[in-house]
Amino acid sequence: MIALSYVWWLASLVLAAAAVFDLRARRWGNAAFWALIAIVFAAGDSILAADKAGNRLPTQLVGVAVVVMALLAGSGLMRRAPATETDAAARDASAQRLGHRLFGPALMIPLVTTVLYLLSPYLVAGDWRLFPASNATVPALALGCCVAVVFALRVTRARPVQALRESSRLLDQLSWAVVLPMLLAALGGVFESTGVGAAVAGLIGQVIPTDSRLACTVAYGLGMIAFTMIMGNAFAAFPVMTGGIALPLLIRQHGGDPAVIGALGMLTGYCGTLLTPMAANFNIVPAVLLELKDSYGVIRMQAATAVLLAATNIALMYFLAFR
Amino acid sequence: MSYWPLLGVAAVVAGFALRLNPMLVVVAAGFVSGFAAGLSLPDQFALLGKAFVSTRAPLLIVLTLPVVGLLEHAGLRKHAQRWIAGLYYMSLSLLLICYMALRQILGAFGLTSIGGPAQTVRPLIAPMSEAAARKTAPDLDDEQRERTRALAAATDNVGLFFGEDVFVAFGAVLLIQTFYSANGIELAPFAIALWAIPTAFAAFIIHALRIVVFQYGLRRRAAEPRA
């Protein structure tokens, strides 16, 4: 079976390669950063197991490592590699020569991942199954990437080490932005356990006029947007806002349809996701990947869509929930 | 109820507004809200560490980098641009609207991993968009190039977000169902996913209009005489 832990090891191999290439290029800050994250990835499952068994030292060390990584990123010791294309002529020639064959491996990742994901219930033999039943997407993605790498090496006739050199180049270009989504998700966890969610719901509950249906609907929608923007994730905002506003006021007091309120509340939260740098994997990482000068460039292009759609959603919620 | 942990939220807002390094802002905000909640320092390290290790999935993007890097080294982006530039009927709006529709439809069937900023936008959609934009505005300046690429990433996000919710087995639908069932309201996932359909259409129409307006803006700028 392709267990999740193999996937983490594969990822830590890619990260460790970046550490090695940076070490050889004497970029000490970058090397330390990638080495730390590679270790956390490789040891992740045993760290969580130790934590469950009551040994908190490994998780505390990870906490310290996270602080060190943040300091490396914030102090400028970690340098982002410039996105220079030194061999533009060679690339051009190779693009001419290979043509459409270049599309094959690029499309292989989504295609193989999707096919494996769809086939995963059938890839079983007795008790043996190719993917864990609980989470087939992640191993399918990993296998898709492996197949695509093999094809890409065949098409481009590059040596295997070239693949790791290229991934290290891209990692140094992405720099700490690639770790930010993980860190933000972790912050969401910290906020939850320190009671930030309950405090926000309490504050909003105090200021809205509860006997007006419209005011409650608008407050729920705006609350979902605001809290999603703070947490960077509509999933984190949903239980807090729905438990704080929608359930007691819209559903119990005003008799709204819970299915409509739930679905549209979540989708209104998604509009908040389009607006916040806290949703780094959707908004900041693409800006870095596309080499935009303005790290909020993607958010700027999404803002008008998000605002118009949020207004539409709140109106839909009002008219459909109390039909 | 204690309102002090909200200081962590204030730290996040202030940090992003001042454009400090986001890694520092996030870690600092975690500690602010931890201290406000009265946690000891060892507890806070353990909380942060555990939360960090438990959320490794977003970093799986690194698995795609060897493939994307190899193909780029071999000129994939160049070829994607040349191909789109050679298709006489292809325009920026046609390209992006088709991509968004594809992403929404596939997402509605649960096929969300088919695209993404590293898998499709950087190697394919962004260079193709640039080539298509050049057809409308032959001397695309740097600022317009940036905005075109940002629009490609935004279109990917909109297509993803407002397609996947229609899928019954998607996490959000199941989260809504679980939340309600914990509060004594039993709903079928199908009944929830149904109400995501109007928004899916609204998102498509609104963003498609914005893409058309963007292309119109490129054309008007290109038609203006150079000062």
Q: Name the residue with tokens 């309201």.
A: B185
A77 Cβ under 8 Å from any chain B Cβ: no
Q: Alpha-carbon torsion B77, B69, A232, B156, what sign? A: positive
Q: How far is B87 from chain A (nearest CA, A)?
A: 14
Helix, strand, coil percentages for chain B (3-state, nearest 5): 80, 0, 20
Cβ atoms of residues B173 and A313 within 8 Å? no
CA distance A56 to A137: 30
**In the predicted model, is pLDDT for residue B226 greater than 70?**
no
B201 Cβ under 8 Å from any chain A Cβ: no
**In the predicted model, is pLDDT for residue A84 greater than 70?**
no
User: CA separation (Å) from A46 to A37, A55, A61, A64?
Assistant: 15, 11, 13, 17
Q: How far is A86 from chain B (nearest CA, A)?
A: 11
B22 Cβ under 8 Å from any chain A Cβ: yes
Beta-carbon count within 10 A of A126 CB: 5
What mean pLDDT do residues A243-263 have? 89
User: CA separation (Å) from B117 to A63, A284, A293, B113, B114?
Assistant: 29, 10, 17, 11, 11
ipTM of the complex: 0.84
Nearest-CB residue to B179 (from A202, A239, A264): A239
Q: How does residue B203 score in pLDDT terms, banded at 50, 70 and 90? A: very high
Q: Which residue has the higher pLDDT, A2 or A71?
A: A71
For residue B113, the model assigns a pLDDT of 66
Q: Which of residues 116-175 of B touch A (CB under 8 A)?
A: 117-124, 126, 146-147, 149-154, 156-158, 161-162, 165, 171-173, 175
User: CA separation (Å) from B111 to A164, A315, B88, B114, B200?
Assistant: 28, 29, 30, 6, 16
What mean pLDDT do residues B77-101 have? 87
Q: Do the Cβ atoms of A309 and B206 come within 8 Å?
A: yes
Q: Alpha-carbon torsion A242, A243, A248, A252, what sign? A: positive
Mutate to test the interface with B, among A92, A191, A313 (most CBs of B within 10 A): A191
A217 Cβ under 8 Å from any chain B Cβ: no
Residues of B in contact with A11 (CB under 8 A): 56, 59-60, 62-63
Q: How far is B20 from chain A (nearest CA, A)?
A: 8
Q: What is the pLDDT of residues A197-218, one digit of tens each?
A: 778 777 777 777 778 899 999 9
A35 Cβ under 8 Å from any chain B Cβ: no
- Helix pair angle (A234-241, A196-207), 10° resolution: 50
Q: How does residue B1 score in pLDDT terms, banded at 50, 70 and 90? A: low
Instruction: Determine what percent of chain A is predicted with pLDDT higher than 70.
Output: 97
**In the predicted model, is pLDDT for residue A31 greater than 90?**
yes
User: CA separation (Å) from A57 to A5, A13, A45, A67?
Assistant: 21, 25, 14, 15
Q: How far is A173 from chain B (nearest CA, A)?
A: 11
Cβ atoms of residues A184 and A280 within 8 Å? yes
**Which of A93-107, A153-167, B52-66, B148-162 reaches the highest mean pLDDT?**
B148-162
CA distance A253 to B59: 43
What mean pLDDT do residues B193-216 have? 94
pTM over 0.95: no
**In the predicted model, is pLDDT for residue B227 greater than 60?**
no
Nearest-CB residue to B59 (from A109, A179, A264): A179
Q: Do the Cβ atoms of B74 and A102 come within 8 Å?
A: yes
Length of chain A: 323
Two structure tokens written together for A289: 């990947």
CA distance A119 to A1: 15
Nearest chain A residue (CA) to B146:
A292
| Neighbouring C-alpha atoms within 13 Å toward the C-beta of A36 | 24
Q: Do the Cβ atoms of B5 and A196 come within 8 Å?
A: yes
Q: Do the Cβ atoms of B165 and A266 come within 8 Å?
A: yes
Q: How does residue A242 score in pLDDT terms, banded at 50, 70 and 90? A: confident
- Helix pair angle (B41-54, A28-52), 10° resolution: 100
For residue B204, the model assigns a pLDDT of 96
CA distance A92 to A252: 64
- Element holding A124 (H helix, E strand): strand A124-125
For residue A227, the model assigns a pLDDT of 86
What mean pLDDT do residues B147-170 have? 87
Q: How far is A215 from chain B (nearest CA, A)?
A: 21
DSSP E strands: which ranges in B84-226?
none
Closest CA to B27 of B43, B49, B6, B42: B49
What mean pLDDT do residues A298-304 have? 95
CA distance A29 to A12: 18
Q: Do the Cβ atoms of B175 and A235 come within 8 Å?
A: yes
Average of per-residue pLDDT values in chain A: 86
For residue B168, the model assigns a pLDDT of 62
Least confident of A295-304, B100-109, B196-205: B100-109
- Element holding A194 (H helix, E strand): none
**In the predicted model, is pLDDT for residue A96 greater than 90?**
no
Q: Do the Cβ atoms of A92 and B78 come within 8 Å?
A: yes
Q: How does residue B54 score in pLDDT terms, banded at 50, 70 and 90? A: confident
Q: With H, G, I as helix, E, B as strand and everything else as coil, classify residue A209.
A: coil
